[in-house]
Structures are given as structure tokens and as C-alpha cells.
A = this chain, B = another copy of it.
Amino acid sequence: MSIKEELLQIAKQAKRASRVLANLSSLEKNKALQEMAFRLEQNVEKIKEENKKDIEDARKKGLSSALIDRLTLNDKRIAKLSASLREISSLEDPVGKVESMWKRPNGLLIGKVIVPLGVIGIIYESRPNVTVDAAALCLKAGNAVILRGGSEAIRSNCVLVDILTEALKNTNVPPESIQLIRTTSREAVMQMLKMDEYIDVIIPRGGESLIRAVTENSTIPVIKHYKGVCHTFVDKDADLTMAEKICFNAKVQRPGVCNAMETLLVDEAIAEKFLPGMIKKFQEAGVEIRGDEKVRKIIPGVKEASEEDWFTEYLDLILSVKIVKGIKEAIEHINFYGSHHSDAIITANYAKAKKFLQEVDSAAVYVNASTRFTDGGEFGMGAEIGISTQKLHARGPMGVAELTSRKFIILGEGQIRG
């Protein structure tokens, strides 16, 4: 079978399964999620065995320890996957809810109902935990899923999907609802991106080049999970003790994630007072500082930030720092150089807080809090499939509710159009 034929078969099976899934009750879907959790617990050794082979290959290939860490499944992490499946089963099911219904002058009753999207394609890094979480979130919202994980995790993904689909055989959810692309060739992704007849949406997660390749080649609508170049602007009216605490948290608490701060903007009126202590704290925590001209005047020895730095998501203990004339320049900088992910102002001034919230064009805009909170769980939306950085369909953390569409139902008694 050619790769194209293989993909076509996968896509057709998923489409068929999605039609069954769309009509199942919440109880039937939740039972399946619980069965999946149980089966993972029953197969810990088998999972670890396959995962070990992936890790060995990754070591031979010389992958970084950070990547190998993301690839690794151990007892604790497998238990966490089961817990996550049970948590997803306990979330509210959005499907079937009539959001609104109204009567027209001619007597037609028109309602807007939440329905599943259909078939969701997910392209992601070598993180086997995403395989389980993504499958579960899609299933909860009544969608079939086609998974394409990073090649380094292929054995782990195969064994996980085998276990999950085996679990579904005891339930009313068709096992074909969870599909994995088992060939690691790049051609498979290219084929997948052209199957707009069968796949309703593609969600790519990962680096800039992957996202670019997907958007450039897909004829299927894409929900981008792009980089986070997040800013914190310390206004001259900020409580500087609060500002220091928030900035430190936003940069240092977990620097490798998309909602961590990459650029610090400081009002020139308080720069001399605020920056020396703040930068010292960062440097003590091992953060490399790259500053503009004005910053380097205040703190000699700081490395110079290039134009490129302002666009960069470091995902590391590096921070670019810029002194701005005030809120206007801060907002302009954020809207121009940022990635429209998460940005914060620290201020005690009501008008400036309101202006920042209104004018910063990002998925999440903060006053007096760390950008690290941009996360489905922290927002109280439950588990998330990722954080959308585009404006269409879903923006910010995407949970179960964002994996749905709508349809209109129209109830008449013989109405015709005049």
C-alpha cells in the first residue's frame, strides 16, 4: 500500500467513526475514557518497554537531554496520563447544548446547537503524553482524531494507541476514532494536509518551521499554536516590589514554555530605580540579559540586544530588556515585535491598565500578574490541547469547548419563502 493509500484509509476510517461518535451520549464517551485510563494502568510495563527503545535510539542520535526528558515515560508519568483521562471524563460535555433558540415572525423556531468538529488532525513533537491527552480531548468533544507525533516517539505512540483502541473495543466508541500515522516519512504529513474532504481541522504544535510548513501546504483549516514572545511592561506607576516578583516569576519559574516572559519593557522614569536590583536578581538566577542602549548605560556590561532579539522566543534563561518612553511606546513595541500570545502591564494607574487591556492585541492581556498563567487549567477551563495564537475560531487556551462547531436547527410547520 502506498503512503497515499494508507493515509486515505486512515482518513476514511476516521470520518466514518466521527459520524458514530457525534451521536453518542456523554455517558458512552465518559465510559470509554475511563476504560482507556484503566487499560493504560494495566499495561505500564509494556509501555515502558517500547518507550525505552525510543529513548535508546534518541540517545544514539544525540538528542538533547531536554528532548529526551520530554520523550520519557515512567511509572509516575503513566499514572498521570491515567489521571488526566479520568479528569477529562469528568469535564462537562459541550456537545448537544442548544446555545440559543429564537422564534421568527413567520413562526420558524431557529436554534444554534453545539456539535463536534468531525475529524481533527494533530501534528506534534516527540512527546508521547500528547498522544493520550489529545486523543482524549478530541474524543470527549465527539471528534475522531488522526495523530502524527514526532518520529523519535514512534514506538511509544504505537503502543499507546494500540492500548487505547483496544480499550475502546469494550465500549460504544468505535476503535477507529483514534488513528495514528505509523509511517514517520514526511510525505505522510504532506498527504494528510491535502485531505480536506475527510479532515475538518489541523492543529500543529511545535516549532516555527513546522508551523510554517503546515500552513503553507495545508488545504485544511489550521489552528496555529505558534511561539510566545511574551512581554511584561513595568509602568512608572507600578508597585516596584510587586513588579520584581512578577517579572522574576514570568522569566524564571519555567523558562522553556510559551507563556514565559522573553522581553521586559521598563518605563524610563523608573528605569534607574528598578533595573539594577531586578537585573541583579535575574543574573543571580543565571539569566543572560540583552539590553538596548539605555539599559546598557544604566547597567554596564550587559550584552547588546540586536533587532532580531526583540522577535525571539528564547525558551531559555535569556531576557531582552528595553527602556521605553511610556505606555504608548510599550504597546507599539508589543504589537509589532510580539507574537500576540500573553503580555502584562504592572501598574497602579487605572487609566493605563484600561488602555493596555484595550490596545494590546494578544490572546491574553494581563494587569499585575505573571504571564505564566496562560494555560487551560490555570484559567479554569480544564485540560487544554494547546494555546492558539491565531484569531480565527479559538484564541488562547483551547480546551474541549474549542474542539466543537455549531449547526442551526430550524423547526417549521410548512413555512415557505415568499
Contact = CB atoms under 8 A, between A and B. Distances in A.
A351 interface: no
Instruction: Rank and list the top 7 A-B pairs by shortest CB-CB distance, nearest first.
Output: A369-B412, A249-B416, A391-B405, A372-B417, A393-B393, A221-B392, A369-B415
Given A362-B407, A373-B108, A245 B391 contact: no
Interface of A: 19, 22-23, 102, 104, 108, 110, 115, 117-118, 196, 200-201, 215-216, 219, 221-223, 239, 242, 245-246, 248-250, 253-254, 335, 353, 357-359, 361-370, 372-374, 378-380, 390-393, 395-396, 405-417
Given A392-B393, A417-B378, A367 B245 contact: no
24 contacts: A117-B392, A196-B215, A200-B390, A200-B391, A200-B392, A216-B219, A221-B222, A221-B390, A221-B393, A248-B416, A253-B417, A353-B411, A365-B408, A367-B411, A368-B412, A369-B411, A369-B413, A370-B416, A373-B410, A373-B415, A374-B408, A391-B405, A392-B405, A395-B407
Contact of A22 (B361, B362, B370): B361
B417 A379 contact: no
Copies in the complex: 2
B415 A407 contact: no
B23 A370 contact: no
Contact of A412 (B118, B367, B411): B367
A357 B392 contact: no
A46 to B, nearest CB: 35
- Binding site secondary structure of chain A: mixed
A385 to B, nearest CB: 14
B414 A239 contact: yes
A413 B390 CA distance: 28
A128 to B, nearest CB: 25
Contacts of A379: 104, 110, 408
Contact of A414 (B245, B393, B417): B245
Contact of A380 (B102, B115, B362, B392): B102
B417 A373 contact: yes
Contact of A108 (B104, B363, B369, B417): B369
A318 to B, nearest CB: 20
Given A253-B417, A393-B393, 4 more contacts: A110-B380, A118-B361, A353-B411, A366-B409
A246 B412 CA distance: 11
A248 B414 CA distance: 12
A366 B200 contact: no
Contacts of A219: 215-216
Contact of A416 (B117, B201, B245): B245
B104 A378 contact: yes
Contact of A223 (B104, B254, B392, B410): B392
B253 A392 contact: no
Contacts of A407: 361-365, 395-396
Between A22, A239, A393, A396, the greatest number of chain B beta carbons within 10 A of the residue's beta carbon is seen for A393
A39 B223 CA distance: 40
A393 B200 CA distance: 12
A104 B369 CA distance: 13
Contacts of A395: 405-408
